[in-house]
Amino acid sequence: MSTTRVIAFANQKGGVGKTTTAVNLAAYLAERSQDMLVIDLDPQANATSALGIEKQPGHSAYAALLEEGQLPGEVIQTAIKGLDLIPSEPDLAGAEIDIAQSEHYLHCFQKALAPLLAEDRYDYIFIDCPPSLGILTSNALTAAHTLIIPVQCEYLALEGLSIMTRIIEQLRTGGANPELTLDGIVMTMFDGRTRLALQVMEEVKKHFGERVYETFIPRTVRLSEAPSFGQPIMLYDPRGTGAQAYHALAKEFLRRHRSAHHSPFGEGGTTDPPSPERFGGQATDLSRVTRDDGHQTTDATEDETVKAEPTPPFSPPVAETET
Ligand SMILES: Nc1ncnc2c1ncn2[C@@H]1O[C@H](COP(=O)(O)OP(=O)(O)OP(=O)(O)O)[C@@H](O)[C@H]1O
Ligand SMILES: [Mg+2]
């Protein structure tokens, strides 16, 4: 049996740090001797460019999704030892339409993934999902063991989370993926200068308890610059606060995954499974959720530095000023 764990990085909200978290966490896990594969399942191909790989027409998961190719044949080595990538291409957007015609449209990616799992050559496969709950994301969630939801420390964060927990429930109870669990929530783009960021983090922790990773990711200019240089933060600015945060996140990830006590949501965790109803979630029909890919803006000014410099394990600093 394969020991590879498949983890989807998903949030229907755009610009919350899905790609940044998938790529940088994968890089630091590779540094810690984990065999890693990132599959870029977003036609925007941001994970592909963030890892310094040129988009090439015809090279993505597209053909394998349509049973016209094999995923292992699309694997590319990145500049980081132990970190491989299956790239994306803009044409992948067409897969949404092609797959929709298929009878087992939720299971196409699961089927495509089978040969990679059979090889058992990776410790973790991370799937970077697009900012929608369309066919590609639902295929990723059907194929995944668990899900990591990056959440921006922003107004309405809980609303987005309630939609995601509803989706997990639908996939579990509807039978598409009865084993799907929530690995955790990673709070991103934390700005210590705003009271809002702290309040959002507290609220999310109140509802999701230990499902929220203790390590949070600060908003830093370096993290936003790194993708345009095609480098994970580990190579671009290894000493900066962004790098420290993702390094700490990788350590916490491994600690949680190695701990016998880690029991993700849905496997009888020690906290109550978060219920969408508790924060007013509406039933969500996968086929009717529309794309939300506008990158979110924040009330806070884009930072130059994070004022309250966090030190691992990145407990929330007290906001010194309000904006
Ligand atoms: N901690 C951070 N500090 C500053 N900028 C960040 C941080 N994390 C991500 N960004 C930037 O914010 C933007 C959105 O991040 P990212 O692409 O990771 O989000 P996403 O959820 O994958 O977006 P999409 O929904 O479009 O796929 C990018 O320009 C990225 O470089
Ligand atoms: Mg993305």
- Chain mean position to CA 314: 19
Residue having the nearest C-alpha atom to atom 11 of ligand 1: 224
Give the CATH number, domain containing residue 227.
Answer: 3.40.50.300
**Which residues lie below 8 Å from residue 65, measured CB to CB, with a gap of 6+?**
95, 98, 99, 108, 109, 112, 139
In whole angstroms, give the CA distance from residue 59 to residue 73.
9
Of all atoms in ligand 1, which is nearest to the CA of residue 302?
4
Element (H, E) at 25: helix 18-31
In a domain, 153, yes or no: yes
Q: What is the pLDDT of residue 288?
A: 29
Q: What is the pLDDT of residue 269?
A: 34
Q: Look at the chain and report how many structural domains it folds into.
A: 1
pTM of the entire structure? 0.84
Question: Is it the case that residue 283 has pLDDT exceeding 80?
Answer: no
User: For residue 224, how far is its CA from the centre of ligand 1 (angstroms)?
Assistant: 7
Over residues 144-159, the pLDDT tens digits come to 999 999 999 988 888 8
User: For residue 131, how far is its CA from the centre of ligand 2 (angstroms)?
Assistant: 7
Does the C-beta of 303 come closer than 6 Å to ligand 1? no
In a domain, 63, yes or no: yes
User: For residue 104, how far is its CA from the centre of ligand 1 (angstroms)?
Assistant: 32
Does the C-beta of 219 come closer than 6 Å to ligand 1? yes
Over residues 4-46, the pLDDT tens digits come to 999 999 999 999 999 999 999 999 999 999 999 999 999 999 9
Tokens of 130: 């697009």
Amino acid letter, 276:
P
Question: Is it the case that residue 274 has pLDDT exceeding 50?
Answer: no
SS (H, E, C) 212-242: ECCCCCECCHHHHHHHHHCCCHHHHCCCCHH
In a domain, 302, yes or no: no
Residue having the nearest C-alpha atom to atom 6 of ligand 1: 224
Query: 19 and 46 in contact (C-beta within 8 Å)?
Result: yes
Residue having the nearest C-alpha atom to atom 9 of ligand 1: 17
In a domain, 254, yes or no: yes
CB atoms closer than 10 angstroms to residue 166 = 20
Does the C-beta of 310 come closer than 6 Å to ligand 1? no
What band does 270 get if pLDDT is binned at 50, 70 and 90? very low
User: For residue 189, how far is its CA from the centre of ligand 1 (angstroms)?
Assistant: 8
Q: What is the pLDDT of residue 192?
A: 87
Q: What is the pLDDT of residue 308?
A: 34
**Would you call 86 helix, strand, or coil by DSSP?**
strand
In a domain, 82, yes or no: yes
User: For residue 120, how far is its CA from the centre of ligand 1 (angstroms)?
Assistant: 31
User: Which residues are 76's β-sheet partners?
Assistant: 85
In a domain, 154, yes or no: yes
In a domain, 146, yes or no: yes
In a domain, 51, yes or no: yes
Q: What is the pLDDT of residue 286?
A: 33
Question: Is it the case that residue 211 has pLDDT exceeding 80?
Answer: yes
**In which domain, by residue range, is 236 found?**
5-288
Residue having the nearest C-alpha atom to atom 23 of ligand 1: 15
Q: What is the mean pLDDT of the chain?
A: 83
Q: Is 15 left (phi over 0), alpha (psi -120 to 50) or beta?
A: left
Question: Is it the case that residue 290 has pLDDT exceeding 60?
Answer: no
Question: Is it the case that residue 307 has pLDDT exceeding 70?
Answer: no
